[in-house]
Amino acid sequence: MKLVGIAGTVEDKSYNRTLLEFIANHFSNVVDIDILSIDDLPMFDQDNDITNSGAIQYLNRKISNADGVIIATPEHNHTITAALKSALEWLSFNVHPFSGKPVMIVGASYYQQGSSRAQLNLRQILEAPGVNAIVFPGNEFLLANVKEAFDENGNLKDEKTVSFLSSTLQKFLKFVKVINMMNDKTGDDGEAENEDLTASGKIETTIEGVDMTADDWVEKAAEKVNAVDGNTYVKLDRGILTVDQLNYFLNSMPIELTYADSNNQFIYYNRMADAKKMLAPRTPGQAGDPLANVHPKRAVHGVKAVIHALRTGKTDLVSMPVPGNGPDRFVVHYYKAMHNADGDYVGINEFVADLIPTIKWYLAQTGQKLVADPNAKVDASTGASSNDADSKTDADTGASEDVDTPEATNDGGDVDATSGASEN
């Protein structure tokens, strides 16, 4: 289980941060806690939306990906700090990573009161509709007289306090499991279905006035925007190539690349071979198509779920093995979220590779062979696993249903769940 911890302060020295660090270290055998900082966030200002900044996107991704959150709050003026409130305002404005997320509140203070009023107030804020967290009821953990509470190594001195904290945390971990089970049953945030696969929207780079579905979309769109080609130089991060050189380079990649932009339009693939020879076949006429046109209807739900998970930062990478290619092939479709310098989602880099040649080469080089693990629980042939993706995303993609169907077992073309351009 993976939690994130937030110390509700931007002070250089904070006992609440010390408390979180103690929890993370002391209970590292039962739970993995990543401590996040809110230091870099400016004051919330609805007129100056910086949701797309790296600092907010980082918190958004980290919290979204976590199973639960622990917030340690000090108390100023009978309430939480402005810094914590400001962070929560950013994270409930145009992104909502706390939505449905189990949250435990703890607090340390200099006096007898602990941080009781601040905790109560934080509870009320977290339960506001824009934040929509699910706050762990009861089990208030207040650490009073904090100056005397820790030894020089940052460990809580009082054994009773540690054991109370331990039982509180154990209960919270159960709570997290129950809440996440409930979340899974009701699906994700329900917004995945809003993904518009017909690419009817428009982003800055959308080329308007050209029929997306036309076979010569590339030629017409290129004319429209005066796209450069041939020996014209293009400045890249990091280097300079001509368009020809860029093509030599991309078309000789050992993987099949597909670019789907954030408007869900399939705008590029590296045409390294004829469709028949590709692991995930694409034809020249498909470039420019909306994603809806290059997927079978039954794959739509899975496609939307994958795009939504990448767009909202729930995961950065979805990996799907495609079975049915025989023992000599292990084809994997990877869907990687792309972001610009501001951390904005800009689309999907789909890359498809057959891992078997690499594995065979490695075995030959090192003099080893593959042996089946009798204890393994992984059923590689059913597909739809995701390494970076959390299990929730995995369950939601629905891709395994697709790959199990008989017609999907020929060349992997029509199981292409996200940005691909399968012929169907």
Partner 1 sequence: MNKYIALVGTNTKQSTNRQLLQFMKRHFDQKAAIEIIEVSGLPMFNKPADREVPQRAKDIAKKIDASDGVIIATPEYDHAVPAVLMNALEWLSYGIHPFLDKPVMIIGASFGALGTSRAQAHLRQMLDSPELGARIMPSSEYLVGNVLSAFDDQGNLTDKEKIDQLDALFTDFEKFVKISKELWHTTDVNRVAIKKLDHEDFG
Q: Are 272 and 281 in contact (CB under 8 A)?
A: no
Collapsed DSSP state (helix, strand, coil) of residue 258 = strand
Binding-site member from 5, 68, 74, 281 for partner 1 (CB under 8 A): 74
Closest approach of Cβ 113 to partner 1, in Å? 11
| Residues between 168 and 197 with contacts to partner 1, criterion CB under 8 A | none
Interface with partner 1, residue 130, by CB under 8 A: yes
Residue 50 as a binder of partner 1 (CB under 8 A): the answer is no
Residue 221 binds partner 1, judged by CB under 8 A: no
Query: Is 125 a residue that touches partner 1 (CB under 8 A)?
Result: yes
For 233, phi and psi rounded to 5 degrees?
-80, 145
Q: Write the DSSP string, 105-123.
A: EEEE-SSTTTTHHHHHHHH
When the beta carbons of 7 and 212 are compared against partner 1, the nearer one is 7
Pick the binder of partner 1 from 25, 28, 30, 43 (CB under 8 A): 43
Residue with tokens 């929509």: 132
Q: Any residues with CB less than 8 A from the CB of 25 and at least 6 apart, and which?
A: 154
Q: Which stretch binds partner 1 (CB under 8 A): 121-129, 215-223, 308-316, 407-415?
A: 121-129
Binding flag, residue 109, partner 1 (CB under 8 A): yes
How many residues contact partner 1, by CB under 8 A? 37
The answer to whether residue 110 forms part of the interface with partner 1 (CB under 8 A) is yes
**Options 9-17, 22-30, 326-334, 336-344: segment touching partner 1 (CB under 8 A):** 9-17
CA pair distance 51, 63, nearest whole angstrom? 14
Do the strands 134-135 and 266-269 form a parallel or antiparallel pair, or are they unpaired? unpaired
Please state the separation of Cα 404 from the chain's center in Å.
25
> Shortest gap between Cβ of 42 and partner 1 (angstroms)?
8
Q: What's the CA gap between 115 and 18, in Å, rounded?
A: 15
**Choices 84-92, 276-284, 312-320, 366-374; region in contact with partner 1 by CB under 8 A:** 84-92
**What backbone torsions phi and psi does residue 90 show, to the nearest 5 degrees?**
-60, -40
Q: Is 2 in the site for partner 1 (CB under 8 A)?
A: no
Of 330-389, binders to partner 1 (CB under 8 A) are none
Q: Which stretch binds partner 1 (CB under 8 A): 106-114, 171-179, 372-380, 389-397?
A: 106-114
In this structure, what are the phi and psi dihedrals at residue 72, rounded to the nearest 5 degrees?
-105, 120
Q: Please state, in angstroms and as integers, the Cα–Cα distance from residue 33 to each residue in 36, 40, 119, 140, 346, following that order.
A: 9, 20, 21, 19, 30
Considering only 103, 131, 318, 353, the residue that binds partner 1 (CB under 8 A) is 131
Instruction: Return the residue of 35, 50, 55, 82 that touches partner 1, per CB under 8 A.
Output: 82
CB of 139 to partner 1, least distance (A): 22
Among 25, 28, 94, 124, binds partner 1 (CB under 8 A): 124
Tokens of 336: 């990687």
Residue written as tokens 């629905």? 398
Show the beta-strand stretches assigned E in 309-411: 317-322, 331-339, 345-354
Q: Note whether 77 binds partner 1 by CB under 8 A.
A: yes
- Residue whose CB is less far from partner 1, 111 or 233: 111
Q: What are phi and psi of 178, to 5 degrees?
A: -65, -45
| Among residues 51, 121, 247, 293, the one that binds partner 1 under rule CB under 8 A | 121
Count other C-beta atoms under 10 Å from residue 136's C-beta: 22
Distance in Å from the first CA to the final CA of the chain: 40
For residue 9, state whether it binds partner 1 (rule: CB under 8 A).
yes
Closer Cβ to partner 1, 47 or 237, answer by number: 47
Give the type of residue at 407. Answer: E
CB of 146 to partner 1, least distance (A): 10
3-state secondary structure of 91: coil
58 binds partner 1 (CB under 8 A): no
Beta strands of 287-330 (E only): which ranges?
317-322
141 versus 335: smaller Cβ distance to partner 1: 141
Query: Are 362 and 377 within 8 A, CB to CB?
Result: no
Instruction: Give me the residues that bind partner 1 (CB under 8 A), please.
Output: 9-12, 14, 42-47, 74-83, 85-86, 88-89, 92, 109-111, 117, 121, 124-125, 127-128, 130-131
